[in-house]
Structure 1
Amino acid sequence: MIRDRSPARPAAAPAAPAAPVAPPRRPGGLGPLGRRLFAAFVVVALASVALLTAAALVGADRGLSSARQADRLETASRVAAAAADAYRAADGWPAADLSAARSLAAGAGAELTVRDADGHAVTGGSGAGTGAGTGAGTAGHGMSGQEHGSYGHGGSSGPTATASVLVDSAAVGSVLLRFPSGATSGGLSVAWGWVTVAAVGALVLALAVSWFVTRRLTAPVVRVAATARALAAGDREARARIDAPGELGDLARAFDAMADEVTRAEQARHRLAADIAHELRTPLAALQAGLEELRDGYADPSPERLAALHDQTLRLGRVVGDLGELADAESARLSLRRAEVDLAAVVRAAVADREAELRTAGLTVRTRTESAPLLVYADADRLHQALGNLLSNAARYCRPGDTVTVGASCRAGEAVVEVADTGPGIPAEELPHVFDRLWRGTRAQATGGSGIGLAVVKELVTAHGGSVGAASGPDGGTRITLRLPTAGTPTAATRAAATPAAPT
C-alpha cells in the first residue's frame, strides 16, 4: 500500500475582500454633481425672482402714487376753476355759489375747503358750509395758474391736494381737497396680485429650465462614469455612445476612443502571447526532445547532433527578435519621429546596408532612383527598417543568380518604392495573406521563416499613412510596392502623431 508522504498543504489563506463597488446609479438620477448644480440653479432662480419681485412692487407703488398724485392735482385744478367762475359771477366770495366746485370734489370722493386770499374759510352763497374741512393742512400759496397745485398729507385724514383760485391772473383764494386714506390701497393690492402670479410663474419656469439644463449637463458625465466602472469591472464592450453637444460630446467620444484603444491593446497582447507560444513551441519541443535523448543516452553527443540543437537555438533567437520587431512596429504610431526626408536616399542607404547579404546569397542587386530628391514626411529609421526586411526576405527566398531591383519614384502625387525579384514567386492563393502576422506560406515553411517580416513592413508603412501591396507573375518573380504620401505641410494631427509618447 502506497501512502502519500508529501507534507500536508497549509490551509488556503482567506481571499482578500473584494474592493467595494459603487452602487449603480438609478436611471435618470442626477448624481452628486447634478444635485449640487441643480441646487445652485435653484438659489440663483430664487434670488433673481425675489429681487425682480421687490423691484416690481416698489416700481408699481411709486408709479401708482405718481398717477394718483397727478389725478388729485388735476381734480384740484378743476375745482379751483369752478370756484373762480363762482367768484367771478358773484363778484366776491360772500355771494359765490360753490355748488359746482363741491360737486366736482364729491365726484372725486374728497372733502372741499375753500379759503379766501387771507386764508379764511369761505362758505359760499349756497348756504351749505364747508367747515368740515377746517382741520386740513395749510393751503398752497403763490400758484401761477389753475393747472398748478401741491400735494401733501393732512394729518391722519389722508392725502390732500391744493390749488390757487385765479381770477384775471390774480389769486383770490385757494381750494383744499382732502381724500380718504383708503383710496391709496386699491391699485397697490391689484399690483401685488399680478406681481405675485408673475413671480410664481417665473419661479416655476426657472426651476423647470434648471432641471432640464442640469439633466442635460450631468447625464453624459453620469453615463461616462458608469461606463468607466463597467470597463473596470471587466466589460470590454461597454461604451458611452453619447451624442451630446460641445465639450461633453467630445469627452464621451474621447472616452469611447480610449476604451476602443484599450480593448485593441489588450487583444493585441493576448494575440501576441498566443503567437509567441505558437512560434516557440516547435523549436522548444525539438530542443527538449534532443536534450532528453542526450541525457538518457539514446543518442551520442555527436557534432551533427549538437549542430542541430544549435540550429534550434538560433531559430528561437530569430523568432524572439522578429517578435520584438513586430511589437515595435505595432507601436510605431506612438514612436514615429517624423521629418522631411529624401526617400531615394533612404532606399540607397538600405540597399547599401543589405548589399553584402544579398551578394552572399548569390543575387544581383540593381537600384533605380530619380536624381531629384523624393521628399516624404516620415521617420527615416522606420522606413530603413521596412526596406531592410524586404531585402532580407529577398535574400532568404530567391535562388542564386536571381536579380533584385529596388526603385523609388513619384507617381500621381505619391512616393512609390518597389522591390522586385526574379525568384520563384508567391502562389496566387497566398498573396492576400503575405502581410498577415505569423502567416507562413509554402516558401516560409520550407526555409523556416517566422512569418513576421512582411507584417512588420505593413505596420511600419501603415503608421506613415501609406499602403503596401504584393504581386507575383505567372512565370515567377515577386514585386512588393510601398506607397507613401509625399511631403507637404504637416497637419496638427500629423505633428501630434509624430510626437513620441512619454515613457511609462
Structure 2
Amino acid sequence: MPPSAGLGPLGRRLFAAFAVVALASVALLTTAALVGTDRGLSSAHQAERQRTADRVAAAAADAYRAAGGWASADLSAARSVATAAGAVLTVRDADDEMISDDAGSGSEDEHGMPGSGRGHHGQGAGSGPGVSAPVVVDGHTVGFVGLVFSAGSGSAGRSVAWGWVAAAAVGALALALAVSWFVTRRLTAPVVRVAATARALAAGDRGARARIDAPGELGDLAHAFDAMADDVSHTEQARHRLAADVAHELRTPLASLQAGLEELRDGYTEPTPDRLASLHDQALRLGRVIDDLGELAEAESARMSLHLAEVDLTVLAGAAVAERKAELRTAGLTVHTVPGPAPLPVRADADRLHQALGNLLSNTARHCRPGDTVTVTTSATPAEAVIEVADTGPGIPADELPHIFDRLWRGTRARSKGGSGIGLAVVKELVTAHGGTVTAESGPSGGTRMTLRLPRATPQGPPLVSGPGTKPRIASRANTPRGI
C-alpha cells in the first residue's frame, strides 16, 4: 500500500513533513556517527601504533646495550615486533644517520649507508602512516626507531563500524517513517471521518455521525461535530413540525372562511349579521395566528435587536401587572404582588422584557379558573434577579411540562381553549436573549409557578422605569392573550 493511501491531502502533506524531518535527522545523526567513529578509530589506531613503536624502541635499546653500540647491534628482536605489527622498521642513530632500513628503498648517504635521506626522527620509506620513538639507554637518547604502516592498516575495523552505522541509519529511517505513518493516520483519520460525515450531511443523510473516540482536541472536534449534527437534525425536525403546525392552524379558519364566502357568493345563504360575524371571527383567528408567528420570528431575532439599558425589574414587574390587571380580573382572578428590593437593576430591553411578562400573565389569565389567585413576586440573589408568577389553577400535567416552551406546542387544555402555542415560546426566546432562564413547575394537586431569572446589573445611574405611563414598544402588541 503506498504511503499516501487513505490519508487525503492533509495527511499526505503531514506525512511528507514527518518524512523530511525524519530523513534530515537520520542523515545528520548518521554523518555525525560516521565522523565520530572514524576519528575515534583513527585515534585508537594511532595510540596502538605508538605503543608498538615504544616496544620496538625498547628492543632496539636492549640490542644497543648488549652490543655496546650500533655497529654490531642485533636488531632482529626489534624487527620481529615491527613485522608482527605489520610495519616497516627504520633505525637511526642520535645524529640522524641511518642504521637500518627494512624498506630497502633508501639511497646511500654521504657515509655510504643505505637510507632514504635525512628525515625528522628517522621516518623511513612507506606509503602509509608512520610513528617514531626515541631509543633511550641509561638515560641518554642514542637513536630513533620509525615504523611505517601500510596504507590499509586499520581499515577493517573502520569498515565494520561504518557497516553497523549504515545499518542503524537504515533501521532508524524505516522506524521513523513507520512511526510518522502511524501518527499521521492517528491525526488525520478523525479529520477525514468528520469531513466525510459533513459531506454526507450536506448530501441529505441526516443520520450521518462521525462517532470517533479520539484523544484530545480531535476527540473534542468529533464530539462537537456530532452534537452540531444532532442540533441540525432536531432543528430540521422542528422546522418540519412548525410548517405542519402552521399549515394546520391556518387551514381550519381559512377553509371555514372560504366555504362561508362561497356560500354567500353562490346565494346559498343570506349575508346576515350573524353569518358575517362568524366569518369575521375566522378572519380574526387567521390574523392572530399570523401575528403570533411574526411575534415569534421577532423574538427569535431579539438577541440582535435588543436595546439594553439599566432597568429596575421591580418597577417593570409592577407595570406589567398593572397593564394586565383588567384582563386578569375579567378572567375572575385575584391578583397579588409581592415586590422585592428596590431598585433591582438588570441589564435589559425594557420593552422586550415587558412583553415577556405580559405573555406570562396572559397565559395565566387564559388557563386559570375563575376564583383562582395569581401572585407575582420579585426577589434577588447575589447574582440574579428573579420574577415568579404563581397561580392556584389546575396546573400542567407532568408529561406536558417539558414541552410548554416549545414552538406551537399546545397541551390538552390549550387545545380546548384555542391557544396558538406561541406565547410561551416567545417568552423563552426573549428571556434567553437577555442571558436569563425561564422554568415552569406544577404540583400534582394543581398550581403552576413560572420563574424568570436574569443576571443582576450593578446600578450605574437612574434605572429605566417601565410603568403605566411608559408605553413599551412591543408590549402594546402583547395585549392579545397568548396560550400555551
Q: TM-score, normalised by structure 1?
A: 0.76
For 2:150, the equivalent position in structure 1 comes to: 180
1:213 aligns with 2:183: yes
3-state SS, counterpart of residue 165 of structure 1: strand
Measured after TM superposition, the shift of residue 376 of structure 1 is: 6.0
For 1:468, the equivalent position in structure 2 comes to: 439
Measured after TM superposition, the shift of residue 112 of structure 1 is: 1.3
3-state SS, counterpart of residue 104 of structure 2: helix
CA spacing shift, 1:250–1:429, aligned 2, 3 Å: closer
For 2:71, the equivalent position in structure 1 comes to: 94
d(CA) in 2 for partners of 1:217, 1:430: 45
CA spacing shift, 1:169–1:382, aligned 2, 3 Å: farther
Matches within 5 A, 1:146-185: 157-185=127-155
d(CA) in 1 for partners of 2:448, 2:90: 122
1:51 aligns with 2:31: no
For 2:448, the equivalent position in structure 1 comes to: 479
1:190 aligns with 2:154: no
For 2:49, the equivalent position in structure 1 comes to: 72
Measured after TM superposition, the shift of residue 426 of structure 1 is: 4.7
Q: Is the 8 A contact 2:126 2:148 kept in 1?
A: no
1:350-378: per-residue Cα shift (whole Å, max 9, x none)? 22443454456675543211234556677
d(CA) in 2 for partners of 1:480, 1:260: 31
CA spacing shift, 1:37–1:301, aligned 2, 3 Å: same
Measured after TM superposition, the shift of residue 316 of structure 1 is: 1.0
For 2:38, the equivalent position in structure 1 comes to: 61
3-state SS, counterpart of residue 231 of structure 2: helix
Structure 2 counterpart of 1:29, one-letter code: G
Which residue, 256, 261, 268 being the options, matches 1:298? 268
d(CA) in 2 for partners of 1:472, 1:235: 42
Structure 2 counterpart of 1:60, one-letter code: T
For 2:104, the equivalent position in structure 1 comes to: 132
For 1:17, the equivalent position in structure 2 comes to: none
3-state SS, counterpart of residue 234 of structure 2: helix
Identical columns (%): 70
d(CA) in 1 for partners of 2:325, 2:424: 19
CA spacing shift, 1:116–1:51, aligned 2, 3 Å: same
1:265 aligns with 2:235: yes
CA spacing shift, 1:355–1:211, aligned 2, 3 Å: same
Structure 2 counterpart of 1:286, one-letter code: S
Measured after TM superposition, the shift of residue 221 of structure 1 is: 1.5
For 1:242, the equivalent position in structure 2 comes to: 212
Q: Is the 8 A contact 2:440 2:450 kept in 1?
A: yes
d(CA) in 2 for partners of 1:230, 1:43: 35
For 2:96, the equivalent position in structure 1 comes to: 119
CA spacing shift, 1:431–1:34, aligned 2, 3 Å: closer
d(CA) in 2 for partners of 1:377, 1:312: 41
1:290-347: per-residue Cα shift (whole Å, max 9, x none)? 1111111112223332222222111111112223334455667787788886543332
1:94-141: per-residue Cα shift (whole Å, max 9, x none)? 132323322322221212121112322225xxxxx8463646585434
1:232 aligns with 2:202: yes
For 2:466, the equivalent position in structure 1 comes to: none
3-state SS, counterpart of residue 417 of structure 1: strand
CA spacing shift, 1:139–1:82, aligned 2, 3 Å: farther
Which residue, 322, 332, 357 being the options, matches 1:387? 357
Q: Is the 8 A contact 2:67 2:74 kept in 1?
A: yes
CA spacing shift, 1:180–1:289, aligned 2, 3 Å: same
Structure 1 counterpart of 2:448, one-letter code: R
Q: CA RMSD in A?
A: 3.6
Matches within 5 A, 1:300-319: 300-319=270-289
1:67-97: per-residue Cα shift (whole Å, max 9, x none)? 1112112221222233223323333211323
d(CA) in 2 for partners of 1:211, 1:456: 54
1:346 aligns with 2:316: yes
d(CA) in 2 for partners of 1:231, 1:268: 17
Which residue, 82, 87, 105 being the options, matches 2:82? 105
1:285 aligns with 2:255: yes
Measured after TM superposition, the shift of residue 393 of structure 1 is: 2.4
1:239-297: per-residue Cα shift (whole Å, max 9, x none)? 11222233323332332232222222211211110110111111111111111111111
For 2:424, the equivalent position in structure 1 comes to: 454
d(CA) in 2 for partners of 1:168, 1:338: 110
Farther off after superposition, 294-303 or 396-405: 396-405
Q: Is the 8 A contact 2:209 2:226 kept in 1?
A: yes
Structure 2 counterpart of 1:479, one-letter code: T
Which residue, 377, 383, 389 being the options, matches 1:407? 377
CA spacing shift, 1:130–1:484, aligned 2, 3 Å: same
1:85 aligns with 2:57: no
3-state SS, counterpart of residue 182 of structure 1: coil
Measured after TM superposition, the shift of residue 193 of structure 1 is: 1.3
d(CA) in 2 for partners of 1:131, 1:430: 112
Measured after TM superposition, the shift of residue 459 of structure 1 is: 5.2
How many residues align structurally? 445
d(CA) in 1 for partners of 2:7, 2:171: 24
3-state SS, counterpart of residue 120 of structure 2: coil
3-state SS, counterpart of residue 183 of structure 1: coil
Structure 2 counterpart of 1:54, one-letter code: T
CA spacing shift, 1:113–1:289, aligned 2, 3 Å: same
For 1:38, the equivalent position in structure 2 comes to: 15
Q: Is the 8 A contact 1:136 1:178 kept in 2?
A: no
d(CA) in 1 for partners of 2:150, 2:28: 32
Measured after TM superposition, the shift of residue 235 of structure 1 is: 0.5
Structure 2 counterpart of 1:466, one-letter code: T
Measured after TM superposition, the shift of residue 181 of structure 1 is: 2.2
> Gaps (5+ residues) in structure 1?
1-26, 124-128, 142-149, 490-504
Measured after TM superposition, the shift of residue 31 of structure 1 is: 1.9
Q: TM-score, normalised by structure 2?
A: 0.79
